[in-house]
Each structure stands twice: as C-alpha cells, then as structure tokens.
Structure 1
Amino acid sequence: MDVVTLCLFLLLAVVISGILSRLLPSALPRPLVQIALGAVIGTAAGTRVELDPELFFLLLVPPLLFLDGWRIPKDELFRDGKAVLGLALGLVFLTVLGLGLFVHWLIPAMPLAVSFALAAVVSPTDPIAVGAVAQKVPIPKRMMHILEGESLLNDASGLVCLRFAIAAALSGTFSLATAAGTFVWMALAGVAIGGAVTWLAISGKALFARHFGDDQGSSILVSLLLPFGAYLAAEHLHASGVLAAAAAGIAMTFAGSGAAVGASTRIRQRAVWDMLQFTLNGVIFVLLGEQLPDLLIGARAAVAGTGHEGTGWLAVYVIAIVAMLAALRFGWVWLSLQLTLFRARRRGGADTSSPPRRIIGAMSVAGARGAITLAAALTLPLTLSDGTPFPARDLVILLASGVILASLVIASIGLPLLLRGLRLPVDEGAAGERDHARIVTAKAAIAEIERVQHDLAANSDEADRYTDIAARLMAQYRERIESLGADEERRIEEDRDRRIDRELRLAAIRAERQSLFAMAERREIGLTLAEQLGRELDLSDARLTRLGS
C-alpha cells in the first residue's frame, strides 16, 4: 500500500510540474522542475520505488519511441534523411567509441565495457527535452525536424549499442564482426517486424470497422498496445525491440491513413496519446528525482571506487563528459556541413552558402539528453551473470543524471542566446503546397456536393431546396479557390483579413463558451447539453487556434 501511495504522489508531482513550469520563468525547463519535485518526494517519503530494470524499460520506452515515430513529419524526415542518418548513426557510433575510451581514461576503475555502456546511455538526444527548453524560442522548423528525426533513430541505435555493451560486460568478451552482423540483423528485422505488426493490426481493425462499425474504445486500445506488441515480437525473435517500436510508429501514419476510423476517434486517440506522453516523460524525470537521495548517499562509495575522495569529483566527471559530448557533436555537425557543401559545389548547386554560424552552434547546443537516457541508465542490470553486483552501476546512473541536468541547463541558456533575433527565411514551399491541397480538396468537395445533390433531389419532392443549399455550399468552396488563386498583393490582404476574421471568431467562440457554462451554472440549461455544445466549441477553438499557429 505504501508503494501504491508513493506512485500516486509521483503522478501528482507530474501534474504539479505542468502547473509550475507555466508559473516559473520560461528559462527553467519542465524536466528540471520534475526532478526537483521527485527529489522532494524521495527525501520526505519513508519508502522507495523499487525499479525492475526490464519492467521499467518495457513499460516506458516502447510507447515513447512509438509516439516519436508516429508524430515525426515524414516528408521532412525523408527529405533530410542523410543529415538525420549521419547524426543518428554516425554520431552515435563516434560518441560510443570516443566517449567510451575517454571515460575509461578519465575513470580507470570503470571497466571498459561499462564505459562504453555509459557512452551508449548518454548518446541519444531528446526532442521533448529540447522542446521543453525552447518553448519561448523560435527554433527553425527544418532544424527542429532534423532534431526530431535524429532523436527517433539515435534512441534506437544508442539503445542497441547499450545492449552490446551490457552483453560484453556480462560475458567479458566482445567480437566486432559478430556485433556488426548481429546489428544488421537486429536493425533490419526490427524495422520489418514493427512495420508488419502495425499493418496487420490497423488493417484488421479497419476491416472490422467497415463491416461492423467503429468502436472508439477498442481503436484507441489497439493503438496503445501496438508499441508493446511490436517490441515483444521483435525481442522474441532476437531483433531490436526499440527499432520495432519506432518503425511501428512510423508505419502508423501510412497504415492508418485509409482506416475506417471516425473523426471523433482520431481526436480522442490524439488526446489519449498526448496525456500518455506527458505522463510517461514526467514519471521518468520524477523517478530520477525520487531516486536521487539514495544515489547521492552511495555517491561517496562510488567515487571512492574510482580512486578519488569526495563527491566533488562527480561534478568534475560530469563536466568533463559534457565537454567531450559537446566537442564530438560540434565537430560532427561542422564536418557534415562542410561535406554537404562540398558535394553541392561539385554538383553545381544553386545555393551553396553556409548557414549562419549560430545555427551550427544551436544544432550543437540542442543535443539535450532526456527521458530515454534516464530510462536506459536505470535499466542497467543489477548483477552480473555470477551474481556479483554490476560494476559501477550507481556511478553510471549518477553520471548519466548529471549529463541530463547539465545538458538541459546548457540548452536552456544557450538556445535563447543563439536563436534570439535570428531572421529566418519564409518557407514559401510549404505555404504553396498547403494552398494547392486546399484548392484540390475544394474542387473535390464541389464535385461531391453536385453528385449528392442530384441523387437526393431525384428521390425527393423538394428538389429546389436541395439545389439552393448545394449552391450555397459550393459558393463557399469556390470562394476558397478564388482566394487561394489570387495574385500576391490580394493574397496578402486576404491573409490579413483571414487573420482578423480568425481572431474575431475565436473571441466569439470563447464568449459563447463562457455564456454557455454561465447558463449551466444558473441551471437555465442542463449540464449534459452544456458539455455537448462545449465540445463543439472546443473543436472549433482548437481548429482556429491551430490555423493561427
């Protein structure tokens, strides 16, 4: 009962962190607030949450990777695939090798395999941590897309490297040729299994929905079970479960695009996953804070095992590791950019100018570590194969925690400084593509209205009414086509008019909502009707707010 109560307090801390992060200065990212709240709970509570590494990993990591894969912009991911793969694979392998050797040199008492495990733990970046840091900072869209793609893939590659490092620590042997072959199998099989699980589940659910109707609860539950199904299926076949979870999320976009799922189901599904993402990320950071008191108690013994005295050496280790990570990342980003520009010049590219140096610096600073790093650190085995304690496990978790905290602080300070006042080019291509899509869909809507109107009018005595209403609807769509096809000056004016119209509509909708619930409080209307009408207003509010973002 005490553990259950403690877990409920941890969830409450996640809720409170969301409130405090809005009240506190924007430079203080939410993960730091969550860690602080967890530390308060850990200090005050008389019991501790006992973490089973395998269970902890299974419950928290697959859904986060799945959601990253599902929500990442696919066109941008494929467009910047080379840059993403360079950061997600090349930089991860360089980090594991370079940082692993550096840590072993810095802390000779830490076995080489454990040093590589620490390097693998801190190699993945976290876009959610960056997003939390940069809520008030206008990060360039393309840069954010590259960071999201990098995080999605380097989570998987870093965790696969961690698996090899742990295996080497447990067995005491390591073969590069065997590891390379195993990595290829784990990667290819993991991606294939993740995609297959999603396609089979979504296709089967869509087939059922077309014949028997859409059941919202089961549709949402299927989406929640997919990352665990893909992860467990891949692990059962000795493939990469983390890659399977990420691939399942990517496949969700394509497999679910034609599924017979209603709009209300999709809205609720997004809401459930938003809540789950907020909860899981928050729980991980609060758990770190809750574990910190015990970890700090063991810090003296962990540092003493390295041949040094005093917990101050922990700060020295963390600073040295963060500096090495920053140097590796900056060097890789700069070298990758130079190679890209060199290839573009050889091909005679039109735009071979180097981006602002502040963008390169921001790409380096934005490599904040977060939930996946912490989850990976906490999943290190407790004992070796012979039952002896895993060497330097507490020290690895402490150093990983220090790297997370330091990277969040550096990003929260560095990103605003590097990106403040930066003039970014307008993405005209995206606006044109959006306008083209709206014109095409408007034409399709007009054609469908004409067809349905003729069908309905043929079987009714009120043909004139169908004709009038259909003409009014088609006129609205034709107005959209004309406005989107207007010349540039007229489009600017109409954009201004649409912005004013959106602001007025938002004000009107919010006044409607306030008046609606005021009537409900005065018992002039029933609460059920107020909630129904309120949901309609919320959808309109969300749509207009999204159009203005």
Structure 2
Amino acid sequence: MHLIETVVGLLAIVLLSNVFSHFVKRVPVAIVQIGLGLLATTVLHIQIEIDTDWFLLLFIAPLLYSDAWRFPKHELWNLRGRIFGNAILLVVLTTVIGGVLIYYIVPELPLAVAFSIAAILSPTDPVAVQSIAKSAKLPPNVMHLVAGESLINDASGLVAFKFAVAAAATGTFSILGATTSFLYVSLVGTAVGAVIAVILNNLGDFLAEHDGNDVVFMVVLQLFSPFMIYIVAESIHASGVIAVVVAAIIANLHSKVDVNYSDELHFTGVMVWKVFGYLLNGLIFVILGVELPVALHEYAGESGHLALPMVLWYAFATWLVIFGIRVLWTFFNQKVWQLTRGGHRASWRVALISGLTGVRGAVTLAGVISVPVMMDNGVKFPERGLMLFIAATTIIISLVAAIVILPMLSEKPNKNTKTAVKPVAQHMTEARAQIYVLQSAVREIEEHRRETNQAVTYDIMLRYQMKIRKLQIDNISHEKLGPILEAEYRLRQVSFEAERSTLRRLLVAEQITPLVFTSESRRLDRAEAELEDVLLFNKKRSWQFTKRYLIRMMRAIRVWFADEDSERLMAEYLIAKHEGAKAAINAISQFIDSDEGRQLKIDQQAAHNLIITYRNRLEKEHNVNRKLTQAQLEAAKTELEVIGLNAQREAVQHLFEAHFISAEIGLKLRQRINFAETGLLTSEEE
C-alpha cells in the first residue's frame, strides 16, 4: 500500500509542477519538478530506493523506444556519422580526458573514481533539453543531433561507468576486457532488438491478414515492446538500451511500408505515447529531486571534512570539464566537416550551444546511486559520498546553465526576411482567424436548422458562440473591453427583468405556485450576482459552476420531498422557464432597437449568444414534447457536427488562399479541426 501511495503522490507532484510551469513559463518544468521533488522528500519524507536495473527498465527503456520510434528517418540517416561520433567516441574521450582532469582538480578522488564520474556524466538527457528548447528556439540540426546521440550514448556511458566502478572496487582494469565487453553488449543488443522487432512486425502483419488488426491491441503491444525487449537483452548480459533503440527504429521503418499501418493506428499511438511520456518524464525529474538529499546525506556522512564551498567548486569545475570537452569536440567536428565537404564555417556559437545542450539527468543519477556502499572485500567504496554529491550537483548546474545561457545564444528570427517573401501582407492573427472560422461554421450549421433538429442545432451553435466569445474577450484590449462588458451586462439585466416580470404574471394567474415563483426568482438573483464573473471568465467560474450544480441538486431533492405533487411542480417549472425564455427573447429584440440599445452599441455577437441560449431552452422543451429517441438526436448531432467541421476547413482554405493567414497558422487551425473530428469519431465508435 505504501508503494501505491508513493506512486500516486509522485504523479500528483508531476501534475502540480505542470500547473505551476503554465503560469511561470520562464522556468522549465524540469526545474520545477526537481524543486518539488526536493520539497516532497524534505517535508513529506518521501524516500525511494533506486536500483539501476529497474530504473532503466521502467523509465529509460520506454522513453528511448518512444523517441526512436518517432525519430525522423531523414535526419537520423543524414546525421548518422555525427550521432555515432558523439554517442561513442565523445563518451570515450569524456571518460578518459575528463577522468584525468577531474582527478587533478579533486585530489580526494582516486583515479578510477574520477573516471567513474566522467563516464556517468557523459550521457546526455534530451528530456531536459527539449523542455528548455521550447523557449530557446534552438537550431533543428542541433536538437536532432542531441536527440539522436542520446538514443545510443546511454548504453556506451553505462558500459564505461560499469568498468570504471569495477576498476575502483578491484584496483585493476583491462582495456582488452572493456573493449570486448562493449562489443558484446552492443552487437548482441543490436541483434536481440532486430530479431524481436522483426517478430513483432510479422505478428502484426499476421493479425492484420486475419482481420485482427485491432488498434487498441496494437498500441498496447507497442507499449509492452520496450519492456520485453529490455528484459530479454539484459537476461543474456547484452545492452537492453541498444536493443530497445534498434527495435524502435526497425518498427519505425516498417510502419512506412506497412499497408496495414493505418492513420488511426499512428494517431492513437502518438497520443498514447505522449501521455505515457508526459508522466514518465515528469516522474524522472521528481525522483531526481527526491534523491538529491541522498547525495547530500552521503556527502555529510562520509566527506563532511570538506567545506561545502570547496565541494561546490569541485562540482562546478567538473561541469566545466565536461562542458569544455563537448564544446571543443563540436568545434573540431565542424572544422573537419568544413575542410572535407565545404559549406558553413566552424562556429563557436554552435559549439557553445552544443555544449550547453549536453544536459545531464536521470541516467547519470541512477547510475551513480547504484554504486555499492561496500565492495566485495568488505571495504567501503572510496569517496562514494563525494562522488554522489559532485554528480548530483553537476546535473543541476548543467540545467541552470542551459536555462540562463541558451536563450542568449539562440538566433532570433529575422522578421524582415520573413515578410519579404510573402506575396500579400498576412495581417490576420491566429485568434482572429479562428473566430472567422468558427463564425463560418455557425452560419453553415444555422442554414441546416430544421424543425426536427432545432434542439441539437442550438446546442451546437451555443457551444460555438461561447468559444467565439471567449476568444474575443481574451484577445481584445482593456480599453475596448470595458464598454463591451458594460453593454452586455445591461443586455443581461433586460433579459432578467423580462423573466421576473413573467414570473409575477404567472403567479398572479395562478399558473405557478409560490414555491416555484420563489425558487425561480432566487435562480435569477444568483445568475445576476454571478454575471460579472461569467462575463469576465475569471478564476471563480469553477467554484460558481460547482455551487450552481449543488443548488440544483438541493432544489431537486426539495421538489422530491415536497408536499405538492412532484410531476405538477416540474410542469410548473417548465412553464416558468418556457414563458420566461419567450419574454426574454422579445425584450432583447426590442432593447436592441431602442434608443438606449443603439446608444450603448450592443455587440451583435453578445445579443446573438443570449438569444440562442433562450432558444436552446425552448427547443429542449419542444424536443421533450416530440419525444425523439436518443438515436435520432445523436444522428442529427453528428450530421451537424460534420457540417460545422467541413465549413471550418473551407474557411481556413479561403483565408490561406487569400493570403490572410500564414501557412503556419493555417496548419494550427487545421490541426484543431482534425483533433475535433477525431474526438467526434472516437465518441461515435464508443
């Protein structure tokens, strides 16, 4: 039970960190998650015992599979030389050169332990870089290179770390043994990944040929694949990481030529992996924050004789060494590329960006924590606490350095260059274009309104109108917003006055009882009191909606236990709402044409929304009287939804062809429409 509570708590922290990051956009979510993890272990005393094997299995294997499965083939092939250079040669150089330099910088560390620190710091963490890159606008080739090398350098870095730790524990090291072992784990891991991937691909093809190509099953098979592949490879002492990456790349290549690989399967798979990756990425950094005090505790217990500023300097110097090696390696590669193939000159800016993108993260911490406290001979592992502290602090330094410096080095887009190639000024913003598209859908849906589908028509139109209104309010200046809200508030008051007047008339005519009159009057009072919050779409809306539903529930209970006949009371409520809606529509129409209405310049959108709201109320009652079946309502709704989506697509195409929007905005609008259509079709299948 404790384990389940811990997992739920960690997931809650992941969600909380993303909420916080939404409001503080300058701070990457990875930093927020580390901070909250640190807070959780300090305040709530959450403790997690990390074992490298299960950590790699549960987190690294599925994330690497997802990245490799979605990695662009073209970029992977074009960057293959530099990817393998960074993933293998750079790891070796970082381990050897970095280990020697760290040994001289930190005299308390034995040489083998210094090699261990350099080796475990050699793998990069693309998860952290991707969260930072959103605000830094990094060059695509740099991001592809970092992502590509991270698919492989986890394996090479862990192998180098394993032999360095063994050397520190035993005092012996064999270059021949290390090389042989590396070749074994790499080649056998590649073979295992390739064989299992081919088997899984053939299984999918076999099922498809026998009408078993179920999308849900295939996605679950994708999710299961990295865990199975990793376990099989590790069971024969090969690299599970390399096996997973190879299998994912083969699955990616197979999907491009597989006639049974449908768009539905691709879309569902991508969405599921996004959700899965979202949780795993967040958990990794939360766990990183949880484990930082472990490093501090180890340091205080074993190496407390060193002053904290000195140890912090050791960590910073270690980061400088790793960073410097990566920068020089990148600049050297650029020089070689320039001399052999021509093209762009070597750039220190690109080299610095490459160095900063080499952020260290989860694999580094998982590896260094796995170092045994006691060696086989019963002696403590030398300077384990200092090693742990330096590695953990280096991770934080690499993240902070990337956050602060990368945005300064990233190129700003040349606006003049972009506008020069446009044939016509594209002056319509994304929000304005979206409003136009939604309004086009409303007009098309209204043209298809018939007596039999009026209820669902007004339902759909009201939802569209609320989206339009929200976009208008969110994207209008404060100077213009005030008069609009004032006019809309007055319009709502007119409708409330008409409903109250109708209630009094019905009470006098004895068409409703005092109970219904009082209940409906209170409803109008609450609606009027909440009007300002509803118009401004502010933070209180969630509580207002909750409060409203609770009041409705209490009213329903009161009606149920009332002395009067419940069915008669419900009929009176329907009369009150029906007559009130008719009176409100007439009052709104008259007010718009009045002198006061013309003086206030009532927004037609607001008036239209309000009238549709009342018409929707009337049509729902008519629909009950007509007693349409649920199947008929759903069929009418689906037909109208499809009409609206098609109208949106035509509107987007019209704006693009008229050069009112850019290709980028057009793509975003089409993606929204496609997502809406996918959601509609998915709900229909259910």
Q: Shorter-chain-normalised TM-score: which range?
A: 0.7 to 0.9
Q: Percent identity among equivalent residues?
A: 30
Map residues 163-312 of structure 1 onto 2, 5 A cutoff.
163-257=162-256, 258=258, 260-304=260-304, 308-312=305-309
Q: Give, in whole Å, the separation in 1 of the partners of 2:164 and 2:56.
A: 17
Q: Give, in whole Å, the separation in 2 of the partners of 1:236 and 1:372.
A: 20
Note closer, same or farther for the CA distance 1:39–1:492 as it changes in structure 2 (3 Å cut): same
In the alignment, structure 1 residue 380 sits paired with structure 2 residue 328:
no
Q: Give, in whole Å, the separation in 1 of the partners of 2:307 and 2:20.
A: 34
Number of the residue aligned with 2:313 = 316
Alpha carbons 1:195, 1:247 under 8 Å: kept: yes
Counterpart pick for 1:340 among 326, 337, 341: 337
Report the Cα offset of residue 62 of structure 1.
Answer: 1.0
Q: Give, in whole Å, the separation in 2 of the partners of 1:343 and 1:328.
A: 22
Deviations 1:294-322 (A, max 9, x none): 43233323433xxx422222211111011
Report the Cα offset of residue 16 of structure 1.
Answer: 1.1
Note closer, same or farther for the CA distance 1:301–1:497 as it changes in structure 2 (3 Å cut): closer
Note closer, same or farther for the CA distance 1:493–1:203 as it changes in structure 2 (3 Å cut): farther
Secondary structure in 2 aligned to 1:124? Answer: coil
Q: Give, in whole Å, the separation in 2 of the partners of 1:426 and 1:242.
A: 44
Map residues 93-492 of structure 1 onto 2, 5 A cutoff.
93-257=92-256, 258=258, 260-304=260-304, 308-344=305-341, 349=342, 351=343, 353-354=344-345, 356-386=347-377, 388-421=379-412
With the length of structure 1 as denominator, give the TM-score of the two structures: 0.76
Alpha carbons 1:190, 1:241 under 8 Å: kept: yes
Q: Give, in whole Å, the separation in 2 of the partners of 1:232 and 1:81.
A: 27
2:23 maps to a residue whose letter is L
Structure 1 range deviating more: 141-150 or 539-548: 539-548
Note closer, same or farther for the CA distance 1:426–1:403 as it changes in structure 2 (3 Å cut): farther
1:332 maps to a residue whose letter is W
Number of the residue aligned with 2:38 = 39
1:138 maps to a residue whose letter is K
Alpha carbons 1:11, 1:283 under 8 Å: kept: yes
Note closer, same or farther for the CA distance 1:311–1:369 as it changes in structure 2 (3 Å cut): same
Q: Give, in whole Å, the separation in 1 of the partners of 2:214 and 2:330.
A: 47
Q: Which runs of 5+ in 2 are unaligned?
A: 443-459, 467-611, 624-629, 653-664, 673-686
Q: Give, in whole Å, the separation in 2 of the partners of 1:133 and 1:267.
A: 26
Number of the residue aligned with 2:463 = 515
Deviations 1:6-30 (A, max 9, x none): 321111101111111121142x111
Number of the residue aligned with 1:433 = none
Q: Give, in whole Å, the separation in 2 of the partners of 1:71 and 1:420.
A: 26
Structure 1 range deviating more: 144-153 or 258-267: 258-267
Alpha carbons 2:338, 2:346 under 8 Å: kept: no
Q: Give, in whole Å, the separation in 2 of the partners of 1:504 and 1:302.
A: 64
Alpha carbons 2:118, 2:322 under 8 Å: kept: no
Report the Cα offset of residue 215 of structure 1.
Answer: 2.0
Report the Cα offset of residue 236 of structure 1.
Answer: 2.3
1:365 maps to a residue whose letter is L
For CA contacts below 8 A with separation 6 or more, give which structure has more relative contact order: 1
Report the Cα offset of residue 382 of structure 1.
Answer: 4.8
Alpha carbons 2:299, 2:388 under 8 Å: kept: no
Alpha carbons 1:13, 1:38 under 8 Å: kept: yes
Deviations 1:248-304 (A, max 9, x none): 221120123316244333222212211121211211111121223343233323433
Q: Give, in whole Å, the separation in 2 of the partners of 1:74 and 1:228.
A: 23
Alpha carbons 1:230, 1:241 under 8 Å: kept: yes
Alpha carbons 1:303, 1:314 under 8 Å: kept: no
Alpha carbons 1:193, 1:234 under 8 Å: kept: yes
Report the Cα offset of residue 323 of structure 1.
Answer: 0.9
Report the Cα offset of residue 213 of structure 1.
Answer: 2.7
Q: Which has the larger radius of gyration?
A: 2
Deviations 1:483-522 (A, max 9, x none): xxxxx99x95699999999756764699869716979998
Deviations 1:441-469 (A, max 9, x none): xxxxxxxxxxxxxxxxxxxxxxxxxxxxx
1:233 maps to a residue whose letter is V
Alpha carbons 1:513, 1:534 under 8 Å: kept: no
Secondary structure in 1 aligned to 2:360? Answer: coil
Note closer, same or farther for the CA distance 1:99–1:18 as it changes in structure 2 (3 Å cut): same
Q: Give, in whole Å, the separation in 2 of the partners of 1:513 and 1:101.
A: 70
Q: Give, in whole Å, the separation in 1 of the partners of 2:668 and 2:198.
A: 33
Q: Give, in whole Å, the separation in 2 of the partners of 1:319 and 1:145.
A: 27
Q: Which runs of 5+ in 1 are unaligned?
A: 428-487
